[in-house]
């Protein structure tokens, strides 16, 4: 009877180890596939703007229709209404200095 209980425990441990390994394999395999479409989505969001005329924003490369300069690539900020918005890591102003009273 001891042999039967021992083999049952071994079978349960073997099945548990297999399920844990299979779950880890699925999680790791799923991570690689999820990143590829995200890179394509970032490429689709690339916008181009003129350095002298930030109001000119186009979805593809080319020249500025106002001055003819070559457009530079920018990335649209998520949740920003304006394509030329400041980055989210922008520093905040802590102190203001009056021009009328320099002290």
Distances (CA, A) of 71 to 56, 67, 84, 89: 9, 10, 13, 24
* pLDDT tens-digit readout, 45-87: 788 999 899 899 998 899 999 999 999 998 655 554 554 555 5
Rounded Cα–Cα distance for residues 98 and 70 (Å): 39
Please name every residue paired with 48 in a beta bridge, in sequence order, or none if there are none: 58, 73
Residue 62 and residue 71 in contact, taking contact as beta carbons nearer than 8 Å: yes
* pLDDT tens-digit readout, 3-27: 677 788 888 888 999 899 888 877 7
Nearest to 43 by CA among 31, 30, 60: 60
pTM: 0.35
């Amino acid at each position: 009877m001891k042999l039967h209980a021992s083999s049952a425990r071994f079978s349960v441990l073997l099945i548990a180890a297999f399920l844990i390994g299979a779950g880890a394999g699925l999680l790791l395999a799923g991570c690689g596939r999820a990143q590829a479409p995200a890179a394509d989505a970032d490429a689709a969001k690339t916008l181009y703007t003129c350095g002298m005329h930030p109001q000119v924003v186009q979805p593809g490369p080319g020249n500025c229709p106002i001055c003819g300069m070559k457009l530079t690539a920018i990335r649209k900020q998520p949740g920003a209404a304006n394509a030329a918005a400041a980055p989210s890591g922008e520093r905040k102003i802590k102190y203001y200095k009056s021009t009328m009273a320099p002290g």
